[in-house]
Copies of this chain bind each other. A is one copy, B any other.
Amino acid sequence: MPRPREFEPDAVLNAAMLRFWERGYRAVSVEDLVKATGVKPGSLYSAFPGGKRALFLKSLERYSKLVVPQKLGELEAPGASVDEIRGYFDGLVRDLLSPEGRQGCLLVNTAIENAAEDDEAAAVVRGHLARLERCMTHALENAARRGRVRASLDCSGSAKLLVATCQGLMVVGKANPEEALLRAIVDNAFAALA
């Protein structure tokens, strides 16, 4: 009986995610979202109860499920090793240097902008960091088994360090997107593993 929806909620969520990604939670107004999606306030609020913040939290989850796996790529494969870590870092550098990728990582931005005042957002960020650390640890263990890193390497600890390094890479890259600088960071991070 009901009248059918005229828009795709997933498409709306995607547009919202992109806005939050490039401008941050506070900088995006509902009017911005209305313009970006073509969906009027009333419909937005009925499709996403909880309004702007709910849309933001759903954006974080969507980012985790859709964008992150694409960036992680082979690093999440069971056989991942040093090359896959390297590939991930190279991808980060490439993104930071490209005009579209300068927005960095939505979850890093959220850690800084919202983690202190929004526990739910912080939880999503923590989940992301844990996932990243898991990948890195696993890849380092594979690498150790294959003799691609020094035998004395603390895989779990080094994974934590690598996670911090890529967060730092994004902070540096956001303020100072210079290829030589970013490459030096990545190169030296890897020199430490050998």
Contact = CB atoms under 8 A, between A and B. Distances in A.
A113 interface: yes
- The SS class assigned to the A binding surface is helix
A103 B115 CA distance: 10
A122 B115 CA distance: 22
A97 B185 CA distance: 26
24 contacts: A24-B26, A26-B27, A27-B117, A109-B112, A111-B172, A111-B174, A112-B112, A112-B113, A112-B171, A113-B113, A115-B175, A122-B175, A125-B175, A126-B175, A154-B191, A156-B184, A161-B165, A161-B185, A161-B192, A165-B168, A167-B172, A168-B168, A168-B171, A170-B171
Interface of A: 22-24, 26-27, 102-104, 108-109, 111-113, 115-117, 122, 125-126, 129, 154, 156-158, 160-161, 163-172, 174-176, 181, 184-185, 187-189, 191-192
